[in-house]
Amino acid sequence: MTTIDNDSAGKTAMALLTLQGVDKIYRQGELEVRALQEIDLTVQEGEFAALVGPSGSGKTTLLNIIGGLDAPSHGSIQLNGTSITTLKEAELSDFRLFQLGFVFQAYNLVPVLSALENVELVMVLQGRDVRERRERAEHYLELVGLEKVMQRRPAALSGGQQQRVAVARALAAGPRLVLADEPTANLDSENATALLDIMHRLSHEEKTTFIFSTHDRRVMERAERIITLRDGKIVSDKHIGQESHEQMA
Amino acid sequence: MKHSDQLHADASRLPMLLFIAWRNIWRSPVRSILTIGALAGGLVMVILYAAMMEGMIRQMVHQATAISIGHLQIHRQAYVDDQDLYATLPWSYLDTIAGVFPEISLAPRLYASGLASTAETSTGVLIKAVDPAREPQVTRMLQQVRQGKMDLGPADDSQDGLPRNNLVIGAQLAKNMKLQPGSELVLVTQAADGSIGNALYRVAAILKPLEPNFDRMGVLMSIAAYQQLMYLTDGFHELVIRLDDATDLGVMQAELDAELKKLVSEQPLDELGGTPVVRNWRQLTPMVADMLEISKTITFFVGFIVIALASMGMLNTMLMAVHERTHEFGILLAIGMKRRWLLLMVLLESFFLGLVSALTGVLLGIGVIGLFGERGIDFSGMLPDGYDWGGIVFEPYMKLHLEPLDLLLACLLMLVITLLASLLPAWRTVRLRPAEVMR
Ligand SMILES: Nc1ncnc2c1ncn2[C@@H]1O[C@H](COP(=O)(O)OP(=O)(O)O)[C@@H](O)[C@H]1O
Ligand SMILES: [Mg+2]
């Protein structure tokens, strides 16, 4: 099994994530769609960053490329010291399993498994032993406030609860980076802000980097950094509470 | 090294894959139950069919060997070729064989053709003569009485004071000639010395259908009565042999053959009748033997087709299941599930469907066969009396016989076919691209 060393040397010196000159071109017959153009991006360890922009601006494409679910047309991606564009499919799969956590818009969970089993699942895939994964799963479900409904299957949970299970699952795997594509899109604003608060708190407590996309203003407000995309380009990149530096394309 | 690590990793994930696959079956319970129902129903058909075939074969073999043919028969070549009346084996042969092989049972028979007449009608008949003492040791022919009482001895004199012998006739002949037990019959033949032999008989009994020829034209008498009618006393046409254990039929056949060769050199036969030949029941009833050979193959193909048809439902179910779970599979791939595990999960789900269907089908199959019980399926209302196939008469009850091996084979067939049917749905997971699925 190819495991990737979590404590690779030089992590303080190097950024967690570096994208350089990333392009993504989709070809539909004669038509070319430039979903991403010349993306340069650096994310440091522990950041809590929002990717914002109108629908079709390339948020999902960018997150998929960072997560190794899709390959860029040009450019390089360094994640925790690994150039992920050079990895083969099986290596990428292991890379995602051990280094990344994912939270998607909806239906994140396996319907036939309980919340607890869903959180355990990713640790089963990692090959952790029974006791460790049970303890960690319970721990993270408690952290997201679901200790009372751990035995329920997704259908018996609210949308907000389901997304919290997904967050617990992502974190229980012990990733360096959690990618969340519109995790609040299917939630009402109360549940959306609650989920963001949980994610924000855990990002600090667990020292885990988060990049999430959204077009919800109240969700954006929770971010420490807002990266704005338009037509596949980064049109602004602001660190909140610090002096903002905009890069106009 | 890397390879064995991978195997170990796969094995450690197996319980989870099994667990999810099993639960996935019950996600659409109605759909799964219908799928299982179709597969189990198909399997019940196959099991029932196999049991019918097996029962039929056993009945035919039984009919062939136990009731009239025996395990082995000895004739002279000229008798085999054209039922030459003079192609007899001398009685001394019977005594010698009986002395050399005390463990086997022997019954001599003689044949002739003739004309049977009553006051109203006459018809051609086949005369079959048996030894009333020896025949029951070899076949159950004399027990196959439908009407009347088995008696091949002398009967009371006729009204005109003529001596009569008892005989027994085939069911169809009795019907055609309107004969009853107690009826009188005249037989006219050409005797061995060329004279016209004729005698008066009393019908003692009517036999159940044994074989179509006998049923239509058969007249059974004792060898003593035959000798009086035919003036043929120096030997017999047919020697029927029954073994206690028919498994070493071939060995016995060879030994008999060798013994006969020896006998021929010691007690030479006349030129015309040819050498003695030993044939086993398969050679004597080639249709049955052929059918035995092909029936297993036919059963297998019928089973294959029925199960393959039933597994179309399963193919559809799994295609739907995989299609419905496209998004879910995408998520699993994204979070680090290996493609081969996903594939295995789909195959396991199909395997479980097949397994549950197989178990259900086997239990139902055993139950259905149990319902028909010892007697089998009653066809007496549907088949004509004495219905035959390849010269072997069917009893109107189709006995069902379940071979445990057939059951096992049917289950294996079902699992293999359902697994084949799940390859296509499983293959769909291999082409999934999580980035596209997640949008
Ligand atoms: N598979 C694809 N084929 C062609 N075009 C695509 C494909 N996926 C996304 N796109 C295009 O890429 C652009 C960015 O899409 P996306 O990343 O989904 O944006 P967002 O998530 O911000 O709504 C859109 O114009 C979209 O139509
Ligand atoms: Mg999107």
Q: What is the pLDDT along chain B (439 residues), one digit of tens a residue?
A: 456 777 777 778 889 999 999 999 999 999 999 999 999 999 999 999 988 888 887 777 777 788 889 999 999 999 999 999 999 999 999 999 999 999 999 999 999 999 999 999 999 999 999 999 999 999 999 999 999 999 999 988 888 888 999 999 999 999 999 999 999 999 999 999 999 989 999 999 999 887 888 999 999 999 999 999 999 999 999 999 999 877 788 999 999 999 999 999 998 888 888 999 999 988 998 877 787 778 888 888 998 899 889 889 889 999 999 999 999 999 999 999 999 999 999 999 999 999 999 999 999 999 988 888 766 777 777 777 666 665 566 666 778 888 888 889 889 988 998 899 899 999 988 888 888 776 6
Tens of pLDDT, residues A90-145: 999 999 999 999 999 988 999 999 999 999 999 999 999 999 999 999 999 999 99
Q: Does A33 touch chain B (CB under 8 A)?
A: no
- pLDDT of B393 reads 64
In the numeric block, the tokens 């999430």 are attached to A212
Q: Does A67 touch chain B (CB under 8 A)?
A: yes
Give the nearest partner residue to B20 out of A96, A110, A181, using CB atoms: A110
What is the distance in A from the centroid of ligand 1 to the CA of A20? 20
CA distance B74 to B237: 8
Ligand 1 atom at shortest distance from the alpha carbon of A62: 17
- What is the average pLDDT across A213-219? 88
Give the nearest partner residue to A96 out of B23, B334, B341, using CB atoms: B334
Q: Is B23 close to A112, i.e. CB distance below 8 A?
A: yes
What is the distance in A from the centroid of ligand 1 to the CA of A105? 15
CA distance B265 to A96: 91
Which residues does residue B165 pair with via DSSP β-bridges, in sequence order?
B154, B201
What does the DSSP 8-state code read for residue A131? H
CA distance A136 to A96: 19
Kindly give the interhelix angle for A115-126 and A130-143, rounded to the nearest 10 degrees.
130
ipTM: 0.90
- pLDDT of B13 reads 86
Angle at the Cα of B413 from the Cα atoms of B408 and B419, rounded to 5 degrees: 130
Angle at the Cα of B438 from the Cα atoms of B435 and B439, rounded to 5 degrees: 95
Report yes or no: B409 and B364 within 8 Å, Cβ to Cβ. no
What is the distance in A from the centroid of ligand 2 to the CA of A237? 19
Q: Is B331 close to A102, i.e. CB distance below 8 A?
A: yes
How far is C-alpha B163 from the geometric centre of its chain's CA atoms? 44
Helices (H) and strands (E) in chain B, counts: 16, 17
First to last CA, chain B: 39
Ligand 1 atom at shortest distance from the alpha carbon of A229: 22
Closest CA to B368 of B403, B400, B406, B405: B400
- pLDDT of B2 reads 58
Q: What's the token pair of residue A51?
A: 């990717």
Q: Which residues of A touch B438 (CB under 8 A)?
A: 60, 64, 69, 104, 181
Closest CA to B210 of B238, B168, B251: B168
- pLDDT of A36 reads 96
Of residues A217 and A14, the one with the higher pLDDT is A217
In the numeric block, the tokens 């950041």 are attached to A47
In this structure, what are the phi and psi dihedrals at residue B219, rounded to the nearest 5 degrees? -130, 125
Which residues does residue B89 pair with via DSSP β-bridges, in sequence order?
B236
Closest CA to B351 of B39, B8, B9: B39
Q: What's the token pair of residue B362?
A: 């086997």
In this structure, what are the phi and psi dihedrals at residue B166, rounded to the nearest 5 degrees? -80, 145
CA distance A203 to A223: 11
Report yes or no: A22 and A65 within 8 Å, Cβ to Cβ. yes
Report yes or no: A17 and A41 within 8 Å, Cβ to Cβ. yes
Tens of pLDDT, residues A148-195: 999 999 999 999 999 999 999 999 999 999 999 999 999 998 999 999
Amino acid at B258: A
Return the HEC string of B296-356: HHHHHHHHHHHHHHHHHHHHHHHHHHHHHCHHHHHHHHHCCCCHHHHHHHHHHHHHHHHHH
Which residue, among B335, B340, B343, would best test binding to A if mutated, counting the most A CBs under 10 Å from its CB? B335
What does the DSSP 8-state code read for residue A185? T
Helices (H) and strands (E) in chain A, counts: 7, 10
Amino acid at B237: H
What is the distance in A from the centroid of ligand 2 to the CA of A43? 20
CA distance B335 to A92: 11
Mean per-residue pLDDT over chain A, rounded: 90
Is residue A248 over pLDDT 50? no
The finding on whether A29 has its CB within 6 A of some atom of ligand 1 is: no
Beta strand A48-52 with A209-214: parallel, antiparallel or unpaired? parallel
pTM above 0.80, yes or no: no
CA distance A71 to A85: 7
Ligand 1 atom at shortest distance from the alpha carbon of A27: 4
Beta strand A177-181 with A100-103: parallel, antiparallel or unpaired? parallel
C-alpha distance from residue B363 to each of B32, B58, B360 (Å): 18, 23, 5
Q: How many CB atoms lie within 10 A of CB B437?
A: 17
Cα dihedral value B70, B71, B75, B80, nearest 10: 90
Q: Does A181 touch chain B (CB under 8 A)?
A: yes
Q: Is the dihedral of CA B14, B15, B20, B25 positive or negative?
A: positive
User: Exposure of A222 by Cβ count < 10 A (0-12 exposed, 13-18 middle, 19+ buried)?
Assistant: buried
CA distance A194 to A192: 5
Q: How many CB atoms lie within 10 A of CB B15?
A: 11
Q: What's the token pair of residue B39?
A: 């597969």
CA distance B428 to B213: 62
The SS3 assignment for B36 reads helix
CA distance B130 to B280: 19
- pLDDT of A249 reads 35
